[in-house]
Amino acid sequence: MEAPSPQPEVATAPHSTSAVTSSPISSPSSFAEMHFKVGDKIPIEISHNREVKSKRLLAKIVGWFEGSSLLVALPQQTIHAGLIKVNEQVLLRAFTGKNAFAFNTTVLKIEHFPFTYLHLSFPKKVEAVEVRSSFRHGVHIPATIGTDGKADVTGDILDIGMTGARVGTAEPLTNENPIRLATQFELHDVPVSLELHAQVRSSKSVPDEHGTMHHEYGMEFQNLQPNDRLILGSLLWYQMQMHPERTA
């Protein structure tokens, strides 16, 4: 058993109601392959019959007993609000290194002393998806690109990954770095927004069928915040499950 860690916060992030299912791009994995450490943050997604749809609870790993129980700490007010109850099934996702993991588990017990934590059933099945540093998934998401001292430019995110994106614009960026990439979209009918800092690493101009030039920029994300990583990871997982043919 690992030693307990301080209580975590609650973070706003996209909510998924789907259980983990096999797909051509996911594969069985093991609990050990997630390489959890005490204090690691992990999002807990509440099952579909709960009224809370726009909030993901962010817990911290307290410890585990192999084959028996996984312990995670939550803020006390979360339990008092009735967001999680005993015998409820929840979905946990983890993004470690170059892999994304997901597994279902059940709340076995809720403890309040000496801090608030949950006993979760030990996962019997873990799904894994490899997310390489060069991985990109094709999308079409409207975005706004801002640069210091210049008017914002509208465009579209053409593909996206955990480390960067390819963005297309009708007009060129006159001042390329640093970039502020802002976008809004929906995940499982939940509105989500991102505002990321990036550096342009490549650019090219591409004519359309009418000969009009369009501009594309390869961007590398800078200083991603934990909640940004959660949102990006959830977006990629959703896209890979729904549109595996767009994986690049």
Cα-only R_g, the chain: 20
Q: For all residues of the chain together, what is the average pLDDT?
A: 78
pLDDT tens track for 128-178: 876 655 567 789 999 999 887 677 899 999 999 888 999 999 888 876 778
- Give the pLDDT band (50/70/90) at residue 222: very high
Residue 114 burial class via C-beta count within 10 angstroms: exposed 0-12, middle 13-18, buried 19 and up? exposed
Place of tokens 């096999």: 22
pLDDT at 173: 84
pLDDT tens track for 66-113: 999 999 998 766 665 667 889 988 888 877 656 778 899 999 999 888
Taking alpha carbons only, the member of 160, 176, 127 closest to residue 27 is 127
Average pLDDT over residues 174-190: 83
pLDDT at 221: 93
Average pLDDT over residues 196-201: 91
pLDDT at 97: 56
pLDDT at 172: 85
